[in-house]
Chains A and B, each alone.
Chain A
Amino acid sequence: MHTGLLGEFASPEAMLQAVRRLRGLGYERLDTFSPHPVPGASRALGLPRSRLPRAVLVWGLVGAASGYLIQWWPNAVDYPLNVGGRPAHAVPAFVPITFELGILFAAFAALVTLLLRAGLPALWRPVFEAEGFERASIDRYFVGIDDADPRFDHERSARDLLEAGAARVVRTG
């Protein structure tokens, strides 16, 4: 969410109820802000299943493949070493590094994809300007309506938030 209105709630349940109510009124560009993940928030916001696992799988496979190739080409093709007559292309001996690099790439993919999806790092966000928003990481729950929402209208949306149970409504951005 960039700019718009924020409604403050005291509990995650009240926040979820407000989201459901606002979605029922036809709002589409809603967001929630909470100090911890609230179960049911993704569904209430109507978010599709996260595609992050695909990125992790693909990068994990890339990591494993590069791990194997970087052992196979130097040891079996470019400069075969004869160690006690063992085969230069020794599949079982290449397993550990293949596995480790697969995990390494996958883990980086998980964090980097998360940061990209969440638009991080971005030290300043418009919502941080809203008065009292610093409690969103401590003990307050916010519902935000983006002003790009087709149904957004400053007066009406503020009223809708209050009717949905918000203790107060603040403008951001």
Chain B
Amino acid sequence: MAQTAARPGTARPEPFHPVLVGRPREGPITDQLLRHLWTRSRAWLVLLALSGGGVLLLLFAVSYTVAVGIGVWGNSIPVAWAFAITNFVWWIGIGHAGTFISAFLLLLQQSWRTSINRVAEAMTLFAVLNAALFPLIHLGRPWFFYWLAPYPATMGVWPNFKSALPWDAAAVGTYFTVSLLFWYTGLIPDLAAARDRVPGRLRRRLYGVFALGWQGSGRDWHHYRVAYGLLAGLATPLVVSVHNIVSLDFAITQLPGWHSTIFPPYFVVGAIYSGFAMVVTLLVPIRSLFGLQHVITARHLDNVAKLLLATGLIVAYSYLTEVFVAWYSGNPFEMYTFLVNFPRGPYAPMYWLMIVCNVLVPQLFWAGSLRTNAAVLFVASLLINVGMWTERFMIIVGSLSRDFLPSAWAVYRPTWVDLSILSGTLALFVFLFVLFLRFVPFVPISELKELTHELERKER
């Protein structure tokens, strides 16, 4: 393990793992981080084709749903929400870690955020895009989605803003838009670098258009830094509010298993937890494929693993609290849901899978050597992704399938359309990511240069 002792003359000891290995020179590092914009590889084409196939499946399954109606899904009373809302909550939760890394950590001046924030933000955008698809197709008649907007309709009525549905639309719409603005603002200097560096007139013009004519003037940077910081400050409460509002879809109803005040914080922490798992799932392959071990270092893996452990513990605590409150409430329906239905009901295997993946797996990260082991982290992150999906499945399907009257109970089973849409969105996520890795500078070059100078100044 690469340990560096405190060097004489420096005020603070060097961190255990450096946040940047070596001090790259600006020209070569720019070339390394931009080269993927003009080199094409066979592996890239293969990945694009494979995920593109999955996107076609998604298109087919969604068209089929829209043409025939949502009766082709397994949803029925009492389980009216099922896969669509499970996937919605799962995808939007994944987005949260991207904003956490780019906004929270910027405000906290965590320098290790620099090399991974753009990948994390892109993850947010693509995850939220996938999430937004689900409520839309769940409408059944998605072409009437604009009924959610308050416009003077000839029908003479307005949307009911006391319902959670317009809250969701406002939260998810704002979240996507603000994430996009934040991402683009961060991209502008790197697009300018791409404009000035890529070979070929067409590419230069294209990046030139997206760079908007950024010239890197000191007067522009002066406002840029303020604007970027403010966007971070705005995104921070926003990200908390989004999953709060999503949780209210559940918490404001009377259903046992949903009607709980713990839902808003519990959802937010679960969201950040699943998002960090997805960050690891993406970073580990990117780092070895593009040879970025000196930029995305063991420090990054270590820190993300620690965050997984911390958020995983809060999630575990939330599970305990839920069970305790159900028992302490004395409410027979709540007690039945948490003490009988979840651990011993029809979905018990899912429940125990959730406990193993979300509570036991992150305990690995108490060990420092496992935190920096890319293979272990990768497998653990996949398991946590699965665990967080089953958590949402349990909340939604587990609670709905057995509510108050046993005569109204029913077991939900997904159809092939449900499964195709879920795997299709996974493919769409990969597809968008593969395009992103090819056409966008995915490590913030400008910020990395700033960080290099900052570290050099400290060393002097």
Mask, A99-120, CB within 8 Å of B = 1, is: 1110110111011011101111
Given A79-B158, A121-B213, answer yes or no on A41-B218 (Cβ-Cβ < 8 Å): yes
Please count how many residues in chain A sit with their CB below 8 Å of the partner chain's CB atoms: 66
| B:147-185 near A, CB below 8 Å | 150, 156-162, 166-167, 170-171, 173-174, 177-178, 181-182, 184-185
Given A94-B161, A99-B241, answer yes or no on A111-B222 (Cβ-Cβ < 8 Å): no
Bound: A56/B158 CA distance, A: 30
Question: Which of chain A's residues has its CB closest to B444's CB?
Answer: A36
Stretch at the interface among A20-28, A69-77, A147-155, A159-167: A69-77
Stretch at the interface among B10-18, B119-127, B231-239: B231-239
B185–A36 contact, CB under 8 A? no
Bound: A35/B221 CA distance, A: 10
Question: Which of chain B's residues has its CB closest to A88's CB?
Answer: B162
Given A75-B161, A96-B167, A120-B212, answer yes or no on A36-B189 (Cβ-Cβ < 8 Å): yes
Q: Any chain A CB within 8 A of the CB of B25?
A: yes
A104–B215 contact, CB under 8 A? no
Stretch at the interface among B74-82, B132-140, B191-199, B313-321: B191-199
Chain B residues with CB under 8 Å of A42's CB are 218, 221-222
A50–B222 contact, CB under 8 A? yes
Secondary structure of the B side of the interface? helix
A35–B189 contact, CB under 8 A? yes
Contact of A97 among B170, B209, B227, B238 (CB under 8 A): B170
A128–B215 contact, CB under 8 A? yes
Q: Any chain B CB within 8 A of the CB of A156?
A: no
Q: Any chain A CB within 8 A of the CB of B208?
A: yes
Bound: A104/B241 CA distance, A: 13
Given A97-B170, A136-B216, answer yes or no on A47-B222 (Cβ-Cβ < 8 Å): yes
Bound: A118/B160 CA distance, A: 42
A78–B158 contact, CB under 8 A? yes
A138–B167 contact, CB under 8 A? no
A93–B162 contact, CB under 8 A? yes
Stretch at the interface among B324-332, B336-344, B447-455: B447-455
B26–A41 contact, CB under 8 A? no
Q: Any chain A CB within 8 A of the CB of B108?
A: no
Bound: A42/B167 CA distance, A: 41
B162–A90 contact, CB under 8 A? yes
Mask, A31-51, CB within 8 Å of B = 1, is: 111111111011001010010
Bound: A162/B87 CA distance, A: 62
Mask, B430-460, CB within 8 Å of A = 1, is: 0000000000000001110110011000000
B161–A123 contact, CB under 8 A? no
Chain B residues with CB under 8 Å of A168's CB are none
Chain A residues with CB under 8 Å of B208's CB are 123
Chain A residues with CB under 8 Å of B26's CB are 35, 138-139
Bound: A81/B238 CA distance, A: 29
Q: What interface size band does chain B fall in? A: 35 or more
Chain B residues with CB under 8 Å of A81's CB are 160, 162
Chain A residues with CB under 8 Å of B196's CB are 134-138
Nearest CB in chain B: distance from A4 CB, A: 13
Bound: A103/B241 CA distance, A: 11
Q: Any chain A CB within 8 A of the CB of B9?
A: no
Given A36-B449, A38-B218, A79-B158, answer yes or no on A111-B171 (Cβ-Cβ < 8 Å): no
A104–B174 contact, CB under 8 A? yes
A106–B234 contact, CB under 8 A? yes
Bound: A54/B453 CA distance, A: 31
Q: Any chain A CB within 8 A of the CB of B230?
A: yes
Bound: A94/B159 CA distance, A: 12
Contact of A45 among B218, B235, B237 (CB under 8 A): B218
Q: Any chain B CB within 8 A of the CB of A7?
A: no
Q: Any chain A CB within 8 A of the CB of B294?
A: no
Nearest CB in chain B: distance from A111 CB, A: 5
Question: Which of chain A's residues has its CB closest to B192's CB?
Answer: A137
Chain A residues with CB under 8 Å of B230's CB are 52-53, 56, 106, 110
Question: Which of chain A's residues has its CB closest to B252's CB?
Answer: A93
Chain B residues with CB under 8 Å of A56's CB are 230, 234
Nearest CB in chain B: distance from A103 CB, A: 5
Bound: A123/B195 CA distance, A: 11
A123–B156 contact, CB under 8 A? no
A33–B216 contact, CB under 8 A? yes
Given A35-B449, A114-B224, answer yes or no on A138-B197 (Cβ-Cβ < 8 Å): yes
Bound: A33/B238 CA distance, A: 34
Bound: A126/B375 CA distance, A: 51
Q: Any chain A CB within 8 A of the CB of B30?
A: yes
Chain A residues with CB under 8 Å of B150's CB are 70-71, 74
Given A118-B224, A123-B213, answer yes or no on A12-B193 (Cβ-Cβ < 8 Å): no
Q: Any chain A CB within 8 A of the CB of B214?
A: yes
Q: Any chain A CB within 8 A of the CB of B217?
A: yes
Q: In the complex, given contacts A35-B449, A107-B177, A138-B26, what are 13 additional A-B residue pairs having Cβ atoms less than 8 angstroms apart?
A: A45-B219, A47-B219, A74-B150, A93-B161, A94-B161, A97-B161, A100-B171, A100-B238, A104-B174, A107-B178, A111-B181, A114-B185, A121-B212
A-B contact pairs, 22 of them (CB 8 A): A35-B26, A36-B446, A41-B218, A45-B219, A52-B226, A53-B230, A74-B159, A83-B162, A94-B161, A97-B167, A100-B173, A100-B238, A106-B234, A111-B231, A114-B185, A114-B227, A118-B223, A122-B213, A123-B212, A136-B216, A137-B189, A139-B25
Chain B residues engaging chain A, CB cutoff 8 angstroms = 25-27, 30, 150, 156-162, 166-167, 170-171, 173-174, 177-178, 181-182, 184-185, 189, 192-193, 195-197, 208-209, 212-227, 230-231, 234-235, 237-238, 241, 245, 248, 445-447, 449-450, 453-454
Q: Which 3 A-B pairs have the closest CB atoms?
A: A74-B158, A139-B26, A32-B218
